[in-house]
Amino acid sequence: MPRLDQRRTPYFDVLQDYVTSGTIPFHTPGHKQGIGMHKRLRDFVGDNVLAIDLTQVGDLDDLNAPEPGGPIEQAHALAAQAWGADTTWFLVNGSTAGNQAMLMTALRPGDTVLLPRNSHKSATSALIMSAALPVYMQPEVDHELHLDHCVTPETVRHALDAHPEAKAVFITSPTYYGATADLAAIEKIAHERGALLLADEAWGPHLHFHPELPPSATSIGADVCVNSTHKLLGAMSQGSMIHTRGERVDLGRLRSTLRIFQSTSPNLVLLASLDVARMQMATEGKALLDRTLELARDARRRLNAIPGVYCMGTDQVGRPGIAGYDETRLVITVRDIGYTGYEAARILQHRYNVQVELADLFNIVALASIGTTRDHIDQLVAAIGELGREDRPIDIYAPTGVLEDRLKKRSYRTPPTPKLVVTPREAFVSDHVEVPFKQSAGRVCAEVITPYPPGIPIVCPGEQLTDEIIDYLRLELRAGVHIQGPVDEQLRTIRVLP
Ligand SMILES: Cc1ncc(COP(=O)(O)O)c(C=O)c1O
């Protein structure tokens, strides 16, 4: 394929042409380029964004069935070349739709898929829809910082030894905490055994554009990879991409699967933002990321100079499950200055007007990106510096003492992955009954139950509850750990199969 001119923005251009042509809009959306929208919102968001909030009529093409050679196909080809992929599609329902389409394309009912136990919930929903059989791989856990990283190549190899029938290996890399997997080694192992490598790279749309960042999934030959362009680059929320490489994936099937998960009325402003975000990264991505890395490295150095504060970085590379590290991620451990991550995040928000992306028991996660300024970094570092100077008793386990017991004596271990009795799909589509949680041992769970941190489900739909799981989760609740997933988050009751 000849090199394409990455300065072009074919999809954004057709939207602008539509506006300058002065076309009279007898089509959706009903606000007719802003005229019918209430002034309060129109005045705030501005006329131009509403003028290109159009629908797929005339020359504006169709995301679900792009015209051969038309503006969407051109924008997709430019994106594929920018990310080193063979084909790319724009997504308007985030990487959620990307993961669902990727897994649904690769798997048939009853097929085995290997995936990390801490996969994003979009992977769980894909298991429900595809009726595939999950074999969960344990990610590496840093017990000291109480957070989870990637699965190792050894874990993938063992899982494939035990399940040679697996059709696909699904890997999350980077994680929320910035660790990347050894994708090159995993690619070899998966392909040697005839399994597809599917990469959830929602947190890595920028990796491809800077040599000092870990290698991207497309560069190491993952068969399919999903990027949340909106999470760290210039696209608008929900704007993501799915990339493919090689011949192993049935592209026709992927195209028809995407039609199931995407609206027939995609937001065209979003599509334009994906087109322009690609142009921006292809033409100036390296320089933008030079600056981002410089700011993030400066922040990390200054944060690590605050007594009691730790901001992980490339020093962690080589530890289990951390083959590489995305230095733009600022995971700030506040435990030793006497705060839980939850408390620190609340104080940063209310006292310093600084909003972080994520908080857990010991850490907060701040994202540096191409939109981060030096002033933002200075404010974050100054706020953490002030927290560090406060005279706090170093006693974050105080309310119950349970956590201290569990974490310090290491006397309480996560229960083993429970037995899968029925597929996640069967568990989801069957009738459910609510029973007291305390008496649910032996029942087949209909819900996902995930304590945060570290965000690894203790039980998933279709798995059998045990006394060990019940004791463990009750202890977690007593310790004030957040439980996500069940309808009754206090776990007085649980939904199980009849
Ligand atoms: C690892 C991972 N995969 C997929 C997703 C879904 O991405 P999106 O929000 O773009 O739908 C997320 C969202 O946070 C995620 O953390």
CA of 98 to the centre of ligand 1 (A): 9
Number of alpha carbons in the 13 Å side-chain half-sphere of residue 294: 8
Per-residue model confidence as pLDDT tens digits over 17-33 = 999 999 999 999 999 99
Q: Which two tokens stand for residue 279?
A: 């142009």
Q: Please, what is the Cα angle at 259 between 253 and 261, to 5 degrees?
A: 110
Q: Ligand 1 centre and the CA of 95: distance in Å?
A: 5
**Contact of 29 with 46, CB cutoff 8 Å:** no
pLDDT for 42: 97
All residues at 6 or more sequence positions from 150 whose CB lies less than 8 Å from its CB, including other chains: 116, 139, 140, 171, 172, 173, 175, 179, 180, 181, 182, 321, 322, 323
pLDDT confidence tier of residue 406, bands split at 50, 70 and 90? low
Whether 325 lines ligand 1, by a CB cut-off of 6 Å, is no
Counting atoms of ligand 1 from 1, which one is nearest the CA of 172? 1
Q: What percent of the chain has pLDDT over 70?
A: 95
Is a pLDDT exceeding 60 seen at residue 403? no
Q: Tell whether the model's pLDDT for residue 405 goes beyond 60.
A: no
Question: Which residues are within 8 A (CB) of 35 and not within 5 positions of it... i.e. 6 or more apart?
Answer: none
Q: Are residues 183 and 215 in contact, defined by beta-carbon separation less than 8 angstroms?
A: yes
Atom of ligand 1 nearest to the CA of 175: 1
Spatial separation of the C-alpha atoms in residues 201 and 216, rounded to whole Å:
8
For the chain, the distance separating the N- and C-terminal CA atoms, rounded to the nearest angstrom, is 57
Q: State the distance from the centre of ligand 1 to the C-alpha of 96, rounded, in angstroms.
A: 6
Residue 92 burial (10 A CB sphere; 0-12, 13-18, 19+): buried
Please tell me the predicted confidence (pLDDT) of residue 349. 95
Does the CB atom of residue 367 touch ligand 1 within 6 A? Answer: no
Q: How far is the CA of 240 from the centre of ligand 1 (A)?
A: 10
Residue-wise pLDDT tens digits, 277-332: 999 999 999 999 999 999 999 999 999 999 999 999 999 999 999 999 999 999 99
Predicted local confidence at residue 5, as pLDDT = 98
Atom of ligand 1 nearest to the CA of 98: 11
Closest atom of ligand 1 relative to the 238 alpha carbon: 10
For 124-216, strand residue ranges (E) read 133-137, 141-142, 147-148, 168-172, 179-180, 196-200
Q: Residue 232: which residues within 8 A CB-CB, separation 6 or more?
A: 203, 204, 205, 206, 328, 367, 369, 370
> Measured in angstroms, how far is the CA atom of residue 148 from the centroid of ligand 1?
16
pLDDT in tens, 216-272: 999 999 999 999 999 999 999 999 999 999 999 999 999 999 999 999 999 999 999
Q: How much of the chain, in percent, has pLDDT values that exceed 90? A: 84
CB 225, CB 170: distance < 8 Å:
no
pLDDT band at 407 (very low <50, low <70, confident <90, very high): low
**C-alpha 171 – ligand 1 centre gap (Å):** 13
Query: What does the block give as tokens for 140?
Result: 């590496």
Please say whether the beta carbons of 50 and 15 come within 8 A.
no
Q: Name the average pLDDT for the chain.
A: 93
How far is 330 from 381, CA to CA, in rounded Å? Answer: 11
* Per-residue exposure over 27-54, b if at least 16 CB sit within 10 Å of its own CB, e if not: eebeebbbeebeeeebeeeeeeebbbbb
Which are the contacts of 101, defined by CB distance < 8 A and separation ≥ 6? 242, 254, 257, 258, 260, 261
pLDDT in tens, 148-178: 999 999 999 999 999 999 999 999 999 999 9
Strand partners, 359: 364
| Mean of pLDDT values over 327-342 | 92
Mutate to test the pocket of ligand 1, among 100, 122, 360 (most ligand atoms within 8 A of CB): 122
- Could you tell me if the CB of 200 is within 6 A of ligand 1? yes
pLDDT at 410: 42
pLDDT at 400 over 60: no
Render pLDDT for 366-395 as a digit per residue (tens, 0 to 9). 999 999 999 999 999 999 999 988 876 555
Would strands 147-148 and 141-142 be described as parallel, antiparallel, or unpaired? Answer: antiparallel
Distance 137 CA to ligand 1 centre (A): 19
Please indicate whether residue 98, judged by its CB atom, sits closer than 6 Å to ligand 1: no
Q: Are 398 and 392 in contact, with CB atoms under 8 Å apart?
A: no
Which token pair is 164? 């040679």
Largest CA distance in the chain: 72
94 lines ligand 1 (CB under 6 A): yes
Contacts of 375 (CB under 8 A, 6+ apart): none
For residues 215 and 168, give the distance between their C-alpha atoms in angstroms, rounded to a whole number. 21
DSSP per residue, 435-459: EEGGG-TTSBB-S-BEEETTT--SB
What is the per-residue pLDDT across 45-69, written as a single tens digit (0 to 9) for each?
Answer: 999 999 999 999 999 999 999 999 9
Alpha-carbon distance 474 to 217, whole Å? 39
Count of CA atoms in the C-beta half-sphere (13 A) of 21 = 13
413 or 364: which leads in pLDDT: 364
pLDDT at 342: 84
So what's the pLDDT on residue 241?
98
* Å from CA of 488 to ligand 1 middle: 24
Residue in 320, 481, 352, 497 with CA at minimum distance from that of residue 424: 497
Nearest atom of ligand 1 to the alpha carbon of 99: 4
CB distance 172 to ligand 1 below 6 Å: yes
Cα-to-centroid distance, 152 and ligand 1 (Å): 21
Q: Is 96 in the pocket of ligand 1 (CB under 6 A)?
A: yes
